[in-house]
């Protein structure tokens, strides 16, 4: 059966704690901690689980408001960026979801809330129980802080802010860096499968926490292989590639290869995928083993410029992290 391509459109979740994003203020989180709203993992429901304040919920939930006004929280982005799409996720909140939500943003050099000048990103929209509310954003502004308003009270499972990290204040100064790090602006273009684990995990800093903190495909029952395409920081003089299979013991790929190219002009994702099989090899097909960090010295494309890579895994399985060290260029 042919896989349906999953397009990520170079967008990342700017609200992710992986980037350093955090809640710096909330009016109330009596029933469920505001910090849970940023959890990169999908929300879950735990039947029959109660804490000292009531039913345990995987998200942010305020108490029933008995006064005028509404509840809100303020989020500081780990990396300033522009937002293309917002997902207000009310999964498992049924009868306790807000009536409406809205989102505001600002660009501030400090965390002094009283000095924030908010602008509307998403106006008031009605919410439904146990649903995703995806909203496209027209603004191209760069934000450092966000304000999520819920009317008048209730619970939100997750807030996803899909966008791009601003490159304005990122200065690499021709240093050797990880060109495939999400912290440096790398992102996922597309993949053919991510059944058990998201491709974005490949770009995260640090060692994977567990098997769920990596990219894992379903079991392949036919010929072929699995792949993911990344947009990296523009770079050259690629010295080393690291591919980690940490926590993947009975489900790591048998082997992998890495292809790369440099596209000077903006190309559509479908066209990028179409021609990716013709890209030059940065790493020829190499064997992998269980629960290990594999380090490869680049002997191919030494002097070539790169801003896209394709990771191929044979025939399927999971890898935890991908790192590619080279010199960043403008």
110: tokens are 């400090």
Assign residue 39 the CATH number of its domain.
2.60.120.260
Same domain, 153 and 272: no
Among 113, 135, 165, the domain boundary falls at: 165
Q: What is the dihedral of CA 93, 44, 322, 170, to 10 degrees?
A: 30
Of the candidates 219, 162, 160, the residue with the CA atom closest to the CA atom of residue 195: 219
The CA distances from residue 240 to 119, 138, 178, 236, 312, in Å, are 44, 39, 9, 11, 17
Whose structure tokens read 């919920």?
Answer: 57
Give the 3-state secondary structure of residue 51: strand
Distance CA 298, CA 307 (A): 16
Q: What is the dihedral of CA 141, 127, 35, 146, to 10 degrees?
A: 20
Same domain, 256 and 212: yes
Same domain, 153 and 29: yes
Same domain, 22 and 133: yes
- HSE-up (13 A, CA, CB side) for residue 112: 4
Among 165, 193, 225, the domain boundary falls at: 165
Per-residue pLDDT of the chain (330 residues; tens, 9 = 90+): 456 899 998 899 999 999 999 999 999 999 999 999 999 999 999 999 999 999 999 999 999 999 999 999 999 999 999 999 999 999 999 999 999 999 999 999 999 999 999 999 999 999 999 999 999 999 889 999 999 999 999 999 999 999 999 987 677 766 789 999 999 999 999 999 999 999 999 999 999 999 999 999 999 999 999 999 999 999 999 999 999 999 999 999 999 999 999 998 888 999 999 999 999 999 999 999 999 999 999 878 877 899 999 999 999 999 999 999 999 988
108 inside domain: yes
1 inside domain: no
Same domain, 176 and 147: no
Same domain, 17 and 158: yes
Of the candidates 282, 264, 266, 273, the residue with the CA atom closest to the CA atom of residue 326: 282
Q: How much of the chain is helix, strand and coil, in % rounded to 5?
A: 10, 45, 50
For residue 117, the enclosing domain spans 12-165
Distance CA 94, CA 75 (A): 25
Same domain, 308 and 220: yes
Distance CA 242, CA 224 (A): 24
56: tokens are 């345990």
Q: Report the predicted TM-score, pTM, of the whole model to 2 decimal places.
A: 0.88
2 inside domain: no
4 inside domain: no
């Amino acid at each position: 059966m042919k896989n349906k391509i999953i397009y990520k459109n170079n967008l990342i979740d700017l609200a992710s704690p992986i980037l350093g994003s955090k809640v710096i203020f909330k009016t109330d989180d009596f029933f469920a901690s505001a910090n849970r709203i940023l959890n990169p993992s999908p929300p879950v429901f735990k039947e029959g689980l109660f804490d000292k304040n009531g039913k345990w919920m995987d998200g942010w939930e305020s108490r029933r408001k008995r006064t005028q006004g509404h509840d809100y929280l303020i989020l500081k982005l780990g990396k300033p960026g522009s937002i293309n799409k917002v997902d207000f996720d009310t999964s498992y909140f049924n009868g306790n979801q807000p009536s409406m939500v809205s989102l505001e943003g600002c660009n501030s050099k400090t965390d002094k809330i009283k000095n924030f000048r908010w602008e509307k990103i998403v106006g008031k929209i009605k919410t439904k129980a146990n649903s995703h509310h995806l909203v496209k954003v027209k603004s191209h502004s760069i934000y450092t802080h966000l304000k999520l308003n819920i009317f008048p009270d209730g619970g939100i499972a997750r807030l996803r802010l899909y966008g791009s990290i601003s490159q304005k204040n990122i200065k690499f100064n021709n240093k050797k860096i990880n060109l495939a790090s999400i912290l440096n602006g790398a992102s996922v273009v597309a993949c053919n499968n991510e059944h058990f684990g998201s491709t974005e995990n490949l770009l995260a800093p640090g060692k994977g926490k567990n098997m769920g903190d990596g990219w894992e495909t379903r079991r392949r029952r036919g010929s072929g292989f699995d792949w993911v395409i990344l947009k990296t920081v523009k770079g050259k003089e690629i010295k080393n590639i690291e591919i980690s299979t940490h926590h993947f013991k009975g489900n790591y790929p048998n082997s992998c290869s890495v292809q790369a190219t440099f596209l000077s002009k903006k190309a559509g994702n479908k066209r990028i995928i179409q021609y990716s099989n013709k890209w030059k090899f940065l790493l020829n097909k190499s064997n992998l083993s269980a629960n290990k960090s594999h380090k490869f010295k680049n002997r191919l494309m030494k002097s070539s410029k790169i801003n896209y890579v394709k990771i191929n895994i044979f025939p399927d399985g999971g890898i935890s992290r991908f790192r590619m060290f080279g010199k960043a260029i403008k």
